[in-house]
Amino acid sequence: MSDLHSLSLHQASSLLAGRQCSSEELVQALLKRIAAVDASVQAYVSLDAESALAQAREADRRRASGGSVDPLLGLPIAVKDVLNVDGQPCTCASRILEGYISPYDATCVARLRSRGAILLGRVNMDEFAMGSSTENSAFKVTRNPWKLDHVPGGSSGGSAAAVAADEALAALGTDTGGSIRQPAAFCGCVGLKPTYGRISRYGLTAFASSLDQVGPLTKTVQDASLLLRAMSGHDPMDSSSVDVPVPDYSLALRPDLKGMKLGLPKEYFVEGMDPQVESAVRAAVEQCRALGAEIVEVSLPHTRYAIAAYYVIATAEASANLARFDGVRYGKRVEGEDPIDMYGKTRAAGFGREVKRRIILGTYVLSSGYYDAYYLRAQKVRTLIRNDFLKAFETCDALLTPVAPTAAYRIGEKKDDPLQMYLGDIFTVTANLAGICGLSAPCGFTGGGLPIGLQILGPGFKEENILRVGHAYEQATEWRLKKPELKG
């Protein structure tokens, strides 16, 4: 039982069901793994071992008392530090929330908790989910488990690194412009961004409310479908969560892709992309063809405007959402001569550089006189991007693309060049602007041994399409069996 930490959720669930291990043993194995490798990976920002073990013992008691047992009972899950878990810190990797303890569970967390999942600990991220490398955390830089001097991606870098390093069986992340899919690709795990409205945002600290979605980072597509189903569904606490039925996604998972039509958007295979990424993705496309899918070329002509539109809309919404951190209601407070002085001092000391940059940008694009030229125009571009997808999905069940133009890069390489960092989001921000769903699945490695991700985009509320493609592809290949070599 020495390698319980390396199991998938499904594997752990069947061991628990067969009484081959207890949940307490599972949590203990993970705590041991974290103690051994997290000094190098730096994925966790807070971990309460006693509380995790107490939750595990409670799950073991529930199982022993008989009755029907949920597949999630006793399974430990790491949570991105942007989601509220009752009684745990929630810092969003920001100094401004240092010391803040959540008084309630986010709906997605409450749903997992009610089914017996264990909320293991909190994992690192870019401050307020703004970034693509986790270097914007106020606390520490998480490392890519495949190469410790490389970034894990972001903003859910702690979630991806923890799963890849076997420090968690699965983790929750959030995706506003790629923050689940891109770190999953950089770390070689599976990442799912559900359709906007699929999972409640209640209890997710808002970055850009019209783009944010919660989703799982896992070792397999099957695990992603399990967590998606458990967290999905309408929530009266979030009026943007949609009241549509939640299918049993496991029924969509089949070994072939017969009868499916998959589109290749030509705008996603562009100059400047790392040739190793392009060839891995093209090989994955061939594999999907071999599994029975029909492959067709499609066009998403407004893709070139996506980065500009995203960084106008996301910063505008962020500037409004982050106004609440004022030294009065949450976390840090720096006293001043009067309330205005106190707000200024608190925010100057509490927010990091990237967050300040975005608040300033967002305030500017919303200011009178500029609103029409920037924000309104960006919203119109957003509609065009959405229409591109709607048209493509008239004929295709899903689209295949790279997740990012390159694999993970060296820590520090892009940190001082925000524009370069933003451009790396070109293939992921479109799905958030359009509100559709997307999956990232491992599809190979660079010559230097870094993972590469395949992105599978699907129509709104058709997660079953992308899970089916991801699962068939994953089962036909062996990428998931490779693990990073970490001492510990």
Q: Is 131 in the site for ligand GLN (CB under 6 A)?
A: yes
The single residue among 22, 55, 88, 132 that binds ligand GLN, judged by CB under 6 A, is 132
Q: Closest CB to ligand GLN among 396 and 433?
A: 433
User: Is residue 134 at the binding interface for ligand GLN, with CB under 6 A as the rule?
Assistant: no
CA 392, 396, 397, 399 torsion-angle sign: negative
Asked if residues 307 and 381 have their Cβ atoms less than 8 Å apart, the reply is no
- Confirm or reject binding of residue 178 to ligand GLN (CB under 6 A): yes
In which residue are the tokens 């810190």 written? Answer: 89
Shortest spacing between CB 240 and ligand GLN, in angstroms: 17
What Å distances lie between residue 181 and 76, 216, 411, 429, 461, CA to CA? 21, 10, 19, 10, 17
Interface residue with ligand GLN, options 15, 52, 129, 309 (CB under 6 A): 129
- What backbone torsions phi and psi does residue 11 show, to the nearest 5 degrees? -65, -45
Binding range to ligand GLN, per CB under 6 A, among 31-39, 85-93, 172-180, 453-461: 172-180
Query: Mapping DSSP to helix (H, G, I), strand (E, B) and coil, where does residue 215 land?
Result: strand
Shortest Å distance, C-beta 301 to ligand GLN:
23
Secondary structure tally for the chain: helices H, strands E: 15, 11
Does 130 engage in binding with ligand GLN (CB under 6 A)? yes
Catalytic-role residue among 8, 13, 22, 80: 80
Q: How far apart are CA 74 and CA 69, in angstroms?
A: 10
Cis peptide before 132 (omega within 30 of 0): no
Q: Does 314 sit near ligand GLN (CB under 6 A)?
A: yes
Q: Report the 10 Å Cβ neighbour count for 38.
A: 20
Measured from the CB atom, the residue of 207 and 343 that comes closer to ligand GLN is 207
Tell me which of 121, 157, 177, 215 binds ligand GLN, using CB under 6 A. 177
Which residues 6+ apart lie within 8 Å of 186 measured at CB?
A: 144, 150, 151, 152, 153, 157, 160, 404, 407, 408, 450, 451, 453
Give me the catalytic one of 102, 179, 200, 319. 179
CB of 87 to ligand GLN, least distance (A): 25
Name the one range near ligand GLN by CB under 6 A: 169-177, 261-269, 288-296, 398-406.
169-177
Q: Which of 150, 452, 108 is nearest to 246 (CA)?
A: 108
**Residue 155 annotated in active site:** yes
**Residues recognised as catalytic:** 80, 155, 179
Footprint of ligand GLN (CB under 6 A):
129-132, 155, 175-179, 207, 314, 425
